[in-house]
Structure 1
């Protein structure tokens, strides 16, 4: 759910301002993955011994940019501590200007309030810029500056400050000597945009996470580390064996014997210790003789580090990673190993990690180096050689990669190709278990095996991989003439649908489409046709798309279709058989719950089919076969064009499966013709944009919305309600119209707006009946119908008619003042559970 972006320039001079802008723009491209906080780390100077700078900020990317450039209100004052003092002045704004105040002292808040009363609200200023030398005797976060010693500065002459508009806080946003024009021939920077999972959105919980004072190791992370904290052992599972022994002993001897009393004493002692020292019990239980030390550390990362003197400032699972790296590095140095490499440290770190992750490391001990690794979360490497033209045949292994010969180059790490395409099209999709080490312009790749290298800081053999060429243009990731990505992607649907079907709907001599060709499935169609059932698995919009296609798949294939929400399938371990075909639908191809369901289906021997919008994604790589929907880059968090392309692909899947059945050929050809003309019909419907905007104005103050659908359109009801819910932040519910009398009808009154989908299909007459019943109960009806059916569905002329619920959701969101592209608490790619 988070976004990682890193940039390393080698033998090419770049100013700090340029480096910052590359990192910021990379984060902007990834902001759809999370936008509640962000951070970056860059080098403080060309002196490799200096600690890296760390900038972290709550809020979106622009909040981070402003804090780094000192465009927040006022000026940042930096002392000798790692915690600077931030001076906020609401009356003054000085972008990128630093003011140092002489003779400033640090005192507690109580003392600050006393001095403020003594000296009043007038603060004189001075033009001198001596350095600040504060003294931190206690927690620096609780200290304030002594305003009585601040002298005048000409640019602030005559400005008065009051208690209400001047504030002193502690933050890690900047240093006073940050020179934006300073040049670096080699520099490594990392950045991160966050969607909070562990810990609320706050600077301390933002990434990069640090190993401690001096920023020896810094890490950005996408994923969840499951073994970072000691589990809660207050449950009785540990005591069951002892209780069983006590019961058996008492029943055998009828009175307490010595063994029985010893067991009772041990149980009481064990329980008492567990109550007060749960981590001690955990270590005794799992970390005694015969247990692997590394395995024990893997179970209790945070507890182990606490026992070795580390302190934790954040609430995140990520903080254990840089601290563990420092622990391993320091331990190696204490044992006299001065030659330990960055990759050896990281390999030892990930040997202790459990869970899903994509990680990028930066360290002051290994300047101008970056290391990336992944398991379960996406990560790509981009290579830009500044003296050679890109070629699809490039490959590299270990230090033999051609770019390690001193040639100028730029290297990038990113969670998504969106952030790479404006820099380079030469990419490497990092595989699970791979560790990528960037050093001296060279790239080394190691395949990590957790079962090997036990107890030693060893390094596995390097592997050889080929670079891929991105089939993406920069224009695809820009908003162009549109105000929002969601608006752009809604209006791109005619083109995206055409692209989805291009080369797949085969036209015959009569200029009508006659058949379907899905190259990714052709070798597996016979197996699919012999399946006992087809299981569609997805989450959110992808699940709704599969539900929309269920009826047509059953109709044309004659195979029963079951629907599974990915997380529910995994939770209940639902039955999956070797005779099943499991179809996994995901726009990103990286959805965590869907990947777990895929792993479960593979274990049970089912044929697994992937339907994704991302070439090289985890689902695309791990399924037996699949279809790429070719919808193009979708950045808006609320899926629009990917949804319609997913439905079209699954309709073509149904056509391909049923191609050998003669009895439904007429129906197949009618569906194929309908698909062929679908893009131009969508284009015509999008002309209703202004009408949808007018309708949205009527709903702007509403708090709830019901959407009724039936048959093919039940999925449309669910998806329409989901769109309104996630972007307009209005409660909305998609309801199966056949269930109306089983509860939902009780909600109907003259105030509640209700959308009824009543298109001209086999359920049309039933939906007309639903409309009549809702009208009889004075429901506020908005009917979505087929063109020309307005008179048939508008009872007494009181119903409004719409045709595209996506447009309604978009305009409703804009009118309600919410960010269409960044819905509250949501992210585009759900790569964590």
Structure 2
């Protein structure tokens, strides 16, 4: 959840690290810190500040101790152990202030280790679990930093992405990883270490992803890892990870949703065959023909995409499918066999609970497939096969275009599995044809942004919202509610429309708006009945309806229209106004859109 940047080389100084760290601030922004070696003074200097990176940058500038061509490490924190203050911020050091490190993850046995180290004479300054690591490394240090790190990590239970420097061994930087993403950026006469490729993209597009239990020893001219690893090319550019002329990353990414659809379908549709080509599944295609049950596992927003995928796969591909949340799936002892395949969905490919469920399925011998946006991520390396969503870099904490990419990918999988089985050619052709139209239809929805902004301003002072939908749009109700609560801090809940009378109606009054997702689909008439129930209780109603539906204007207070498409694809269009509504509501309330409180982009701890 936190962000790590490290550097060793001949050219840069800590100011470059600050700029790299800014590109990771979406991963955590409670506090930030830096440690850097100054070869003139033969010492490591430490600065830590609660709050945003601007506070850290100002303190570093005021120190007048910056020097070029020396190793440094930086960290932006999302608190898990210890309060949000300067002391608990990273980097952490040992008793002698000779060893400094930054850490992502959780040390599960830190209390036990801390008590043992205190008895041995070590003095702790913070409540953060990470400080245990610096004292453990101090305990084992005898002139060789990587050996001390190796011995210290043998005592640790938990997860870590780690970068360590020492003034007693200043010519190197040591990095290590276990269940927390970490990569190396390779450039001439310099090597970077980071928890996310966006931190290194302005300096190099050549990266190496560390695997679990690997330790990397970095020097300006070379590096060493316990086993040889391939260098991967980052496919996106630094410009794609910038806001450009947009006020927020979230708005930029919503406006990029049509491109996300185009990227997800590009080169994959075979119209004449009513089929799709998914190269990432070619190695397991024969085995997939024998699969008779699918499990979809995801967390957060991705779980709503999975729920939609469940409906698609069962109705159109005819495969029994169930969905589970990663944090629950791993504890319920799922029953699987050789004809079951599990599909794991994660934007980052680093979601801790999803990865834990993936590893459990691998232990059971179940085929594991992945849907992710991140090439080279842990999930993409550990699954048997998978499909990339190709959504491009997503910086805002609240996921939008990556969610759209997941929905499109699940629709592609529906055609893929369906045409392997009993889906008729004409149906496959129809779905493929409608998929090809979606980018332009999505652009048409986005043209209503000014009207959606007006609606958001109208309801911004309401404190509670229901979002309701049926069938394919029930998961979109949950997604819309999640987005609103994430960035506006208003109470919002997504409910299946048919569940209103089972309790939710008790809360409806003139101050409790309901957003009703009501396209002209197979359940439209039943949704209209729900609208009547709300209207009878004087509840304000915002409807998302299909173009040409004039009837609904007489039943609701406000309408947002979406173009007509195949029923299974309506969520891809109906969710766009929900994303815009959440965004404009949060803007009207003056909230921090891209960095909502208490949240981080990638949930890499359990």
Partner of 2:585 in structure 1?
A: 812
Distance 1:786 1:802, change over 3 A: closer
Partner of 2:572 in structure 1?
A: none
- CA shift at 1:466, angstroms? 2.9
User: Is 1:821 matched up with 2:581?
Assistant: no
Partner of 1:658 in structure 2?
A: 418
Partner of 1:203 in structure 2?
A: 86
Pairing 1:597-616 to 2, within 5 Å after superposition: 597-616=357-376
User: Of 265, 268, 280, which residue of structure 2 is paired with 1:501?
Assistant: 265
Per mean C-alpha deviation after superposition, the further-off stretch among 731-740 and 424-433 is 424-433
Partner of 2:20 in structure 1?
A: 26
- CA root-mean-square deviation: 1.5
**Contact 1:525–1:657 (CA under 8 A) maintained in structure 2:** no
- Cα offsets for 1:470-492 (capped at 9, x unmatched): 21211111101111100000001
* Cα distance in 1 for residues equivalent to 2:145 and 2:123: 23
* Cα distance in 2 for residues equivalent to 1:796 and 1:523: 52
* Cα distance in 2 for residues equivalent to 1:663 and 1:366: 64
- Cα offsets for 1:19-53 (capped at 9, x unmatched): 132111111010111011000011244243x3x11
* Cα distance in 2 for residues equivalent to 1:22 and 1:377: 24
Partner of 2:565 in structure 1?
A: none
- Cα offsets for 1:545-601 (capped at 9, x unmatched): 111121111122211111100001112333333321110000000000000000111
Partner of 1:281 in structure 2?
A: none
**Contact 1:40–1:56 (CA under 8 A) maintained in structure 2:** yes
Structure 1, gaps ≥5 residues long = 71-173, 231-300, 333-339, 386-408, 447-462
**Contact 2:289–2:420 (CA under 8 A) maintained in structure 1:** no
- CA shift at 1:728, angstroms? 0.9
* Cα distance in 1 for residues equivalent to 2:299 and 2:127: 28
User: Is 1:316 matched up with 2:150?
Assistant: no
- CA shift at 1:69, angstroms? 2.4
- CA shift at 1:66, angstroms? 2.0
* Cα distance in 2 for residues equivalent to 1:415 and 1:478: 18
Higher Cα Rg, which structure: 1
For 1:534, what is the secondary structure of its paired residue?
Answer: strand
For 1:349, what is the secondary structure of its paired residue?
Answer: helix
Partner of 2:180 in structure 1?
A: 377
Partner of 1:801 in structure 2?
A: 560
Partner of 2:235 in structure 1?
A: 471
Distance 1:444 1:757, change over 3 A: same
Partner of 2:117 in structure 1?
A: 305
Per mean C-alpha deviation after superposition, the further-off stretch among 344-353 and 821-830 is 344-353
- CA shift at 1:437, angstroms? 0.5
* Cα distance in 2 for residues equivalent to 1:546 and 1:709: 16
* Cα distance in 1 for residues equivalent to 2:368 and 2:107: 28
Partner of 1:360 in structure 2?
A: 163
Structure 2, gaps ≥5 residues long = 563-576
For 2:283, what is the secondary structure of its paired residue?
Answer: coil
User: Is 1:217 matched up with 2:99?
Assistant: yes
Give the TM-score of the pair, scaled to structure 2.
Answer: 0.95
User: Of 216, 221, 228, which residue of structure 1 is paired with 2:110?
Assistant: 228
* Cα distance in 1 for residues equivalent to 2:295 and 2:147: 43
Partner of 2:40 in structure 1?
A: 46
- CA shift at 1:672, angstroms? 1.2
Partner of 2:206 in structure 1?
A: 426
**Contact 1:209–1:219 (CA under 8 A) maintained in structure 2:** yes
Give the TM-score of the pair, scaled to structure 1.
Answer: 0.70
User: Stretches of 4+ moved more than 6 A in 1?
Assistant: none
Distance 1:576 1:62, change over 3 A: farther
User: Of 523, 536, 546, which residue of structure 2 is paired with 1:786?
Assistant: 546
Partner of 1:396 in structure 2?
A: none
User: Of 115, 123, 139, which residue of structure 2 is paired with 1:327?
Assistant: 139
Partner of 1:245 in structure 2?
A: none
- CA shift at 1:344, angstroms? 1.1
* Cα distance in 1 for residues equivalent to 2:378 and 2:136: 28
Per mean C-alpha deviation after superposition, the further-off stretch among 654-663 and 598-607 is 654-663
- CA shift at 1:521, angstroms? 1.2
* Cα distance in 2 for residues equivalent to 1:761 and 1:442: 60
Partner of 1:594 in structure 2?
A: 354
For 1:503, what is the secondary structure of its paired residue?
Answer: coil
* Cα distance in 2 for residues equivalent to 1:612 and 1:797: 38
Distance 1:466 1:667, change over 3 A: closer
**Contact 1:484–1:821 (CA under 8 A) maintained in structure 2:** yes
Distance 1:467 1:808, change over 3 A: same
